[in-house]
Amino acid sequence: MNVNQSAPPVPPYGQPQPVYPGHHQSSYGGQPGSTAPPNPYGVYNGPVPGYQQTPPPGVSRAPPSSGVPPASTAQVPCGQGAYGQFGQGDVQNGPSSTVQMQRLPGSQPFGSAPLAPVVSQPAVLQPYGPPPTSAQVTAQLAGMQISGSVNPAPPPSGLGYGPPTSLASASGSFPNSGLYGSCPQGQAPPLSQAQGHSGAQPPQRSAPQQASSFTPQASGGPRMPSMTGPLLPGQSFGGPPVNQPNHVSSPPPQALHPGTQMAGPPGPPPPMHSSQQQGYQLQQNGSFGPARGPQPNYGSPYPGAPAFGSQPGPPQSLPPKRLDPDAIPSPQLNELPPQQKTRHRIDPDAIPSPIQVIEDDRNNRGSEPFVTGVRGQVPPLVTTNFLVKDQGNASPRYIRCTSYNIPCTSDMAKQAQVPLAAVIKPLARLPPEEASPYLVDHGESGPLRCNRCKAYMCPFMQFVEGGRRFQCCFCSCINDVPPQYFQHLDHTGKRVDAYDRPELSLGSYEFLATVDYCKNNKFPSPPAFIFMIDVSYNAIRSGLVRLLCEELKSLLDFLPREGGAEESAIRVGFVTYNKVLHFYNVKSSLAQPQMMVVSDVADMFVPLLDGFLVNVNESRAVIISLLDQIPEMFADTRETETVFAPVIQAGMEALKAAECAGKLFIFHTSLPIAEAPGKLKNRDDRKLINTDKEKTLFQPQTGAYQALAKECVAQGCCVDLFLFPNQYVDVATLSVVPQLTGGSVYKYACFQVENDQERFMSDLRRDVEKVVGFDAVMRVRTSTGIRAVDFFGAFYMSNTTDVELAGLDGEKTVTVEFKHDDRLNEESGALLQCALLYTSCAGQRRLRIHNLALNCCTQLADLYRNCETDTLINYMAKFAYRGVLNSPVKTVRDTLITQCAQILACYRKNCASPSSAGQLILPECMKLLPVYLNCVLKSDVLQPGAEVTTDDRAYVRQLVTSMDVAETNVFFYPRLLPLTKSPIESTTEPPAIRASEERLSNGDIYLLENGLNLFIWVGAGVQQGVVQSLFSVSSFSQITSGLSILPVLDNPLSKKVRGLIDSLRAQRSRYMKLIVVKQEDKLEMLFKHFLVEDKSLSGGASYVDFLCHMHKEIRQLLS
Amino acid sequence: MATYLEFIQQNEERDGVRFSWNVWPSSRLEATRMVVPLACLLTPLKERLDLPPVQYEPVLCSRPTCKAILNPLCQVDYRAKLWACNFCFQRNQFPPAYTGISEVNQPAELMPQFSTIEYMIQRGPQSPLVFLYVVDTCLEEEDLQALKESLQMSLSLLPPDALVGLITFGRMVQVHELSCEGISKSYVFRGTKDLTAKQIQDMLGLTKPAMPMQQARPAQPQEHPFVSSRFLQPVHKIDMNLTDLLGELQRDPWPVNQGKRPLRSTGVALSIAVGLLEGTFPNTGARIMLFTGGPPTQGPGMVVGDELKVPIRSWHDIEKDNARFMKKATKHYEMLANRTATNGHCIDIYACALDQTGLLEMKCCANLTGGYMVMGDSFNTSLFKQTFQRIFSKDFNGDFRMAFGATLEVKTSRELKIAGAIGPCVSLNVKGPCVSENELGVGGTSQWKICALDATSTLGIYFEVVNQHNAPIPQGGRGAIQFVTQYQHSSTQRRIRVTTIARNWADAQSQFKHIEAAFDQEAAAVLMARLGVFRAESEEGPDILRWLDRQLIRLCQKFGQYNKEDPTSFRLSDSFSLYPQFMFHLRRSPFLQVFNNSPDESSYYRHHFARQDLTQSLIMIQPILYSYSFHGPPEPVLLDSSSILADRILLMDTFFQIVIYLGETIAQWRKAGYQDMPEYENFKHLLQAPVDDAQEILQARFPMPRYINTEHGGSQARFLLSKVNPSQTHNNLYAWGQETGAPILTDDVSLQVFMDHLKKLAVSSAS
């Protein structure tokens, strides 16, 4: 945010930084960045006069040394800031907080500090002991809710803000350290790190805390003191102090986690602090203030938090509500809209950080291969690079589950509200180090299956009676083993050939299908690709057609082929169209291609049989000639109208006539308004947003496309759509067929060859070259007790169990939701078998089988210990994105929030160790759930900004539907990488930082990517040398805003950045177009949209606010 | 009598007109009693080597309802520069250009020898001729190849500035765009879907230019609106392209399963062809030439399903009302034919297949538009190739023998009214004072449209005498008729040919002999036959025969000389003597008898009968039989089984077939190889003579007849045996074992029996 900009603060920090840097870095890698925070102060201060003053002066530095002492209001803030941060940190660390609690007892607050950092990491938590819940993050959000409310609040709020953000962790932490330094210096640093997060918040807290601190100090001891330093209380927060006291006090009681909160005793405050204040404090405290102080962070947080959150209930005995900081102004405040209450002075650094979680997982699990032999094992995060060894369960690259431990009963499942879902990517591409599934040929008899449930032979089948029979692991049916498959068992009851047979030893493998598995009992012919090119005026004018035809010439040599095949079996065909369709006869015997025009779009048919679909090598000359001529032929076209449904129909009919499956590549530019089936109207209407009719924007205009899609699926005709719209094209309707046929949609708004060529070419190349299966049917079988009930993704279903995919590539993902229909057995666990019948690109019919065994539990805690938040978010996003088709967006959002709150509340109620209600306790596995969920909620589909078009929303909606976990992860929480922080020499990817404006420093350059977009943000204060070496211009002002290509320069920085961009692009399934954004430039708005931890322009809550809100919801559920 | 024959011949030579009566009964009552209606056969464009067209426009009568054209029969007042219309008696001023006329300085149209005169009109845009090939691709490879060659050849015969277009069809219909360079383009249509003209034009993008044209109009009003069509291009421009295109033409690629007919979308292809021309060149001369090798099997106009096990409808099916598709298909093609006629285009049908091709349903396309119909066994026969080539033959001026978009207007003097016309024409529905309420043929109008015609196209035009018995016409009064034919000459000029004729009125009582002597029995036979054939299209065969019989009996009663109830006393005058024989053969002809003919054949025969001139028509009714023998020079002999003798070679011309038949002995001689022996060279000559004569006929006739060379006992001898009068059959004892002639195995009555019955009935007072 502005923070960065404010120059003054920086310098000061700068100094301190040097000193602390070590700490920061060490602990928070990213935090150092926190330097930024200092600036924040400036900013925040801005708003709040009082604070402002404080910040500037003491701001960062002050706090450390003198800051605290300054007791004076001005200084106080600083100090507060620091504390606040800590406090927040606590919040985030939830667990840590608990930890701290413990420590407090054991060690001093400082001790806790170290814990704090731990918090983020599970490991650490454990130490704390309390932590069975370790996972939990206790945030004393009691206040949070309130705080969550918007700032509008009175001065206090101002204060609150100022400090929290501004001080930012960095400064905050430092100061603390400084202060405490003496005490637990060593610890301090760590804390700081942990707290670092919180850094920002401190200020707010600090105020209160300080106040409290005073008291607390007394009680709490050292930490508080520092806190106290901040005299804030006096100021706006008069009330807060009270809280602080609590905090402070809390420390003592710390022994009791909850107690800590309670500690708040400093009864006094109550009166003073209207509930509001307390609320703040609580929040702050909970998270920050106190925590920091102490260990600083931790300690304080707990204490503080408790105090607030709990609302020092004890002392005051005020009802929670009152306790809410909001209450401070007046008890009634509670009733006020949250906004007023706002003033979360939660330190962003103190709340759970996705970056940290990812980093930790990487460090802990990235080095060892993930061996799939163990049932119910939670795989590493999608962001972690790891190798998989298949020892009987499918690789997480194929299947990921929301939980690897399934409740035994539906009651439990209902109680927990954790969706049981698997995200399946049946044809996922594997890294080169991992072997692709073995192909098993069982000859004419075909794959061995259970007679009753038809499950395929898998490692979980039990052989009995000396190997003459086997018991189905899904339905328990006893089947005979065919003579040719018979094998003796060893002493463990295992077949002696188990390791020779992939289907008996691996989680994923393929069977060669027999003719029984083929349509019409005929082996399929090799599939075909049909390129269907819009040649209307728009397409010609934009240069698309020329570009495309040129590119196709070389692209045709890269059609997917199977294994070591020398040439692709895939045949190709060409169609161009505007208001009518032009088919081309490119038979090899012709000297020239022949064009056949079909104008009868109302009743589409394929005008030729022979010569439409051809082998590339045989007809190369004719095809080249055709591609040369297409741009010429239509160069003078004036036809602006296009058709669409007939185009698909034509492609489908062509495949039908050729009796093969295949894929249509449609390159389309405009709304199909020509008189024909599937004709569309421009129905874009922004007025519908936020009304009950908003859902119509996502629904197709006409049912014609669904019917068409159904036919396509029956024929195995997959449709990939490339859109080049200059205006509204009704993506919602046009994407129906691609969506239902397992195809992809690519959209290049306002396509211009110069700007978009690379992106389009890259996408097209990848789309054409990628391996794809056709005419697929997927079925998921499960152990008795659960059942696949719901499916999300790009496919069609004509009944309730079979997922039909006209085409399926390595990126398409199907999310399957399971429900109980009976009890599961803890011993036998739950099995999933996903069987995919498909035609390979060489025309071979195959079955791909993935097996996965999950644990079952009777304890909710087991469930919460084995969840995967990324997968959960994947499911929830898809669920919500489908929901918008039928319900108002607001309902969908509320449903999401409610479900999330229920999940967390259930945990809190059943699994977390008792603690004050004011404490937000999150399961370790789900501590990122709120931040990610918030990202989903503020995504374009669910909360569109003014600049987001209806088409964009529909586009994103359908895109997300078939995303895998890794894609949703980065899509919802973009990666923000500082480019100029780490030494140029380092070859590793720079560590990511959190997606928030306050993390940006104006002297640096950052890269942001979310899988679809790629930004480079250039701070206004970047050194000229850097600008020169990256952009080849002499100053910041000369950088072209919106630049999409970095100049190729021969210097280490340029090379490194371009190399990084290339490697990022290579990781994503779609080419990310680069946009260079300058600080303070118009385009920056676009960029800021992706800083998902911040409040969004369209009204999306900031992370902190949302966390508070979440906490409130949970508390409501619990009470 | 000879004078009448000469008169008739002279008239035919000069005016191309033959009347059934050359002296007209002067009242309605008498006219009806004459049995044979007053009618004429008119060959509007009869080739006249001695008639150079005049380069100016005709002078019209100023009365709006008349507008007759100045002719030799008009009374002219040279001094007053006035002329009186001989139809309405309006007096008209000569136009300024005629100021110089006098008795000695007459314009051509006033000279008696110019009773037929042709004017050339310079007005109006000259539009090039259009030839649109509609080609069936569901052919055997060999056939298709032959057809392709014929088509390629035809390009060199077309006038260089003529526009050509190409539509091919099979399961789909393709309209080929000819203008493009590089890629050959075609528009493809589903063969099963009927499209309106509007849809077709939309889909072909023909309606598009409307906007740009409107804008461009002011700037270039004279711009040829035609040039824009991508589908019809001048031959000289796309000669090579089209030749290549035709060369690359492939058989319909869609697979045809065993036991199926190929799917052939003739109906849609024609519909598109019609729509295409309708949108681009309305009212200019254009030929749609349909080449088909089988029946339409799908879509509108389908004649039979694609199951081979279901045969194409036969007459038997039709009588039993078993022809599922016939009515619908006929309706479809009629609709197309009418549209085509409205646009002034014509449709030719070249159907070459061993089985039927649906001519029955499609006949109206050719019949109503003046198009040709050619039926053959294969495109790879000289019958088709030469016939097709002959279409592009040229006259002595180097002009094509085809004319387009003709309108025939008939004007009569007051005592006459027009009852109708039979021929390759459609009514223009122009009512007028001279139109009779009683229709014969296509009536109710005084104008007809003949979309395409050539020098032999002949119409039968029927009149009604309306003069009342009690209002006698003064002695020596003459009735006049004027035929005005406006047409587009193949050189694309507009021309008007005017024929004005007059005949004497005669009182049937006092001048019966005159009337009788002026009877033209040949013309009458053909005209009656046309009436019969016309009615046969819509009525049952037996009814027609009965009607013809009754007419014949009545005629005999009226003009025969006999004693009541005494058949032996019956005599007919020379001018009537051949008429009953014509009727006898007509009754046996394929025009009225469907037995042994497929519906397609019947349609084909009737088509030609309705458009050929008198001579050809007579040949069709009563084939000509020549005999070649060592006994003398070739001579025509009776079309009778008694003419079939062992030592003779017979040459029969039925118009559709030329049959050479070797008598038993001759055949044996030939088998023995005498013709190869030098000492029997005369035998060789004898064998050669009929072949040479046949070649002569083959060379001249359109369509080229089927040439059959057979001998006694040969299977193809049936063509001869079925035509001759079965005077000797297995039934008449006296013929058995005689050396003369060959018995015919038939139950048909012979001419003798027919005549006997006729006499009996004619003299009977009962009828």
B645: CATH: 3.40.20.10
Query: What letter would DSSP give residue A503?
Result: H
pLDDT of residue A19: 36
Q: Find the closest chain B residue to A611 by CA distance.
A: B253
Among candidate residues B461, B479, B514, the one where a domain is terminated: B514
Question: Cβ of A589 under 8 Å from any chain B Cβ?
Answer: no
pLDDT of residue A53: 38
Asked if the Cβ–Cβ distance from B184 to A592 is below 8 Å, we say yes
* pLDDT tens string A419-430: 999 999 999 989
Residue A777, pLDDT > 90, answer yes
pLDDT of residue A55: 38
**Among A34-48, A783-797, A820-834, where is mean pLDDT lowest?**
A34-48
* pLDDT tens string B281-317: 888 889 999 999 999 999 999 999 999 999 999 999 9
Would you place residue B667 in the very low, low, confident or very high pLDDT band (cuts 50, 70, 90)?
very high
**Cβ contacts of B469 within 8 Å, gap of 6 or more:** B27, B28, B29, B30
The CATH code of the domain that includes B467 is 2.60.40.1670
**Among A53-67, A402-416, A830-844, B733-747, where is mean pLDDT lowest?**
A53-67
- Residue B718 and residue B592 in one domain: yes
Task: Find the domain containing B717 and state its range.
Answer: 539-758
pLDDT of residue A990: 85
Residue A1094, pLDDT > 70, answer yes
- Residue B170 and residue B302 in one domain: yes
Question: Cβ of B194 under 8 Å from any chain A Cβ?
Answer: no
- Residue B47 and residue B27 in one domain: yes
pLDDT of residue A841: 87
Residue pair A966/A383 in contact (Cβ under 8 Å)? The answer is: yes
The CATH code of the domain that includes B364 is 3.40.50.410
pLDDT of residue B250: 87
Of A592, A597, A607, nearest to B182 by CB-CB distance is A592
Identify the residue whose tokens are 């608990």.
A98
What is the H or E stretch that residue B500 is in?
strand B494-506
Average pLDDT over residues B339-343: 93
* pLDDT tens string B159-217: 888 899 999 999 999 999 887 677 888 999 988 988 888 888 888 887 654 443 334 33
- Residue B249 and residue B309 in one domain: yes
Q: Of chain B residues 149-178, which have a CB less than 8 A from chain A?
A: 172, 174, 177
- Residue B13 and residue B159 in one domain: no
Asked if the Cβ–Cβ distance from A608 to B183 is below 8 Å, we say no
pLDDT of residue A426: 94
- From CA A318, how far away is CA A335, in angstroms rounded? 16
Residue A226, pLDDT > 70, answer no
Asked if the Cβ–Cβ distance from A605 to B248 is below 8 Å, we say no
Q: Mean pLDDT in chain A?
A: 74
Average pLDDT over residues B539-548: 89
Residue A63, pLDDT > 80, answer no
Average pLDDT over residues A368-377: 90
Q: Find the closest chain A residue to B189 by CA distance.
A: A598
Average pLDDT over residues A264-273: 37
Number of residues assigned to chain A? 1119
Average pLDDT over residues A85-99: 38
The residues pairing with B197 across neighbouring beta strands, listed in sequence order, are none
pLDDT of residue B205: 80
Average pLDDT over residues B82-90: 90
Asked if the Cβ–Cβ distance from A583 to B174 is below 8 Å, we say no
- Residue B318 and residue B416 in one domain: no
Residue A568, pLDDT > 70, answer yes
Query: Three-state secondary structure along A893-914?
Result: HHHHHHHHHHHHHHHHHHCCCC
Closest CA to B24 of B416, B353, B405: B416
Question: Cβ of A597 under 8 Å from any chain B Cβ?
Answer: yes
Q: How far is A677 from chain B (nearest CA, A)?
A: 15
Of B182, B188, B205, nearest to A596 by CB-CB distance is B188
Of A603, A607, A632, nearest to B188 by CB-CB distance is A607
- Residue B377 and residue B402 in one domain: no
- Residue B342 and residue B446 in one domain: no
Q: Mean pLDDT in chain B?
A: 88
- Give chain B's domain count: 3
B95 domain residue, yes or no:
no
What is the H or E stretch that residue B571 is in?
strand B566-571
Among candidate residues B372, B389, B406, the one where a domain is terminated: B389
* pLDDT tens string B618-641: 999 999 999 999 988 999 999 988
B519 domain residue, yes or no:
no
- Residue B382 and residue B413 in one domain: no
User: Percentage of residues in chain B with pLDDT exceeding 70?
Assistant: 95
Distance from first CA to last CA of chain B, Å, rounded?
Answer: 31
Measured at the CA of B547, the angle between CA B541 and CA B549, to 5 degrees, comes to 105
Q: Of chain A residues 609-638, which have a CB less than 8 A from chain B?
A: 609-611, 625-626, 629, 632-633
- From CA A71, how far away is CA A84, in angstroms rounded? 15
- Residue B330 and residue B235 in one domain: yes
pLDDT of residue A337: 40
H-helix segments, A938-1082: 950-961, 965-972, 1024-1031, 1052-1067
Q: pTM of the entire structure?
A: 0.77
Residue A605, pLDDT > 50, answer yes
Q: How far is B202 from chain A (nearest CA, A)?
A: 8
**Among A193-197, A994-998, A1050-1054, B366-370, where is mean pLDDT lowest?**
A193-197
Helix/strand/coil percentages in chain B, nearest 5: 35, 25, 40
- Residue B241 and residue B296 in one domain: yes
Residue B24, pLDDT > 50, answer yes
Instruction: Residue B187: list chain A partners with CB under 8 A.
Output: 596-599
pLDDT of residue B734: 56
Question: Cβ of B205 under 8 Å from any chain A Cβ?
Answer: yes
- Residue B549 and residue B499 in one domain: no
B530 domain residue, yes or no:
no
* pLDDT tens string A1006-1021: 999 999 999 999 999 8
B94 domain residue, yes or no:
no
B260 domain residue, yes or no:
yes
Which of B188, B265, B271 should one mutate to test binding to chain A, selecting the residue with the greatest count of A CBs within 10 A?
B188
Asked if the Cβ–Cβ distance from A600 to B195 is below 8 Å, we say yes
pLDDT of residue B248: 86
B545 domain residue, yes or no:
yes
Would you place residue B596 in the very low, low, confident or very high pLDDT band (cuts 50, 70, 90)?
confident
pLDDT of residue B496: 93
Which of A576, A600, A636 should one mutate to test binding to chain B, selecting the residue with the greatest count of B CBs within 10 A?
A600
* pLDDT tens string A523-556: 999 999 999 999 999 999 999 999 999 999 999 9
Asked if the Cβ–Cβ distance from B188 to A597 is below 8 Å, we say yes
Residue B447, pLDDT > 50, answer yes
Of A595, A610, A625, nearest to B185 by CB-CB distance is A595
Would you place residue A981 in the very low, low, confident or very high pLDDT band (cuts 50, 70, 90)?
confident
pLDDT of residue B79: 87
B572 domain residue, yes or no:
yes
Query: Three-state secondary structure along A244-263?
Result: HHHHHHCCCHHHCHHHHHHH
Among candidate residues B322, B354, B389, the one where a domain is terminated: B389
Query: Which one-letter amino acid corresponds to residue B357?
Result: T
Question: Cβ of B189 under 8 Å from any chain A Cβ?
Answer: yes
Asked if the Cβ–Cβ distance from B203 to A600 is below 8 Å, we say yes
pLDDT of residue A34: 37
Q: How far is A1080 from chain B (nearest CA, A)?
A: 51
pLDDT of residue B2: 56
Cis peptide before B703 (omega within 30 of 0): yes
- Pairing relationship of beta strands B447-453 and B706-711 according to DSSP bridges: unpaired
Would you place residue B354 in the very low, low, confident or very high pLDDT band (cuts 50, 70, 90)?
very high
- Radius of gyration, alpha carbons of chain A: 31
Would you place residue B255 in the very low, low, confident or very high pLDDT band (cuts 50, 70, 90)?
confident
pLDDT of residue B713: 87
Residue A40, pLDDT > 50, answer no
On the CB side of B439, CA atoms within 13 Å amount to: 12
Asked if the Cβ–Cβ distance from B186 to A598 is below 8 Å, we say no
B674 domain residue, yes or no:
yes
**Among A173-187, A975-989, B22-36, B498-512, where is mean pLDDT lowest?**
A173-187
pLDDT of residue A141: 42
Please report, for residues A694, B39, B412, B490, the alpha-carbon distance to residue B35 in angstroms, rounded to integers and kept in the order given: 87, 12, 21, 40
pLDDT of residue B732: 64
Instruction: Residue A605: list chain B partners with CB under 8 A.
Output: 172, 190
Closest CA to B187 of A588, A583, A638: A583
Average pLDDT over residues A1059-1063: 91
Average pLDDT over residues A25-39: 38
User: What b-and-e string marks burial along A432-465, b requiring 16 or more CB atoms within 10 Å of the CB?
Assistant: eeeebbebbebeeebbbbbeebebbbbbbbebee
More confident residue, A172 or A402: A402
A-B interface: how many C-beta pairs under 8 angstroms?
A: 65
pLDDT of residue B731: 67
Average pLDDT over residues B28-39: 91
Give just the sign of the alpha carbon dihedral A366, A372, A373, A374. Answer: positive
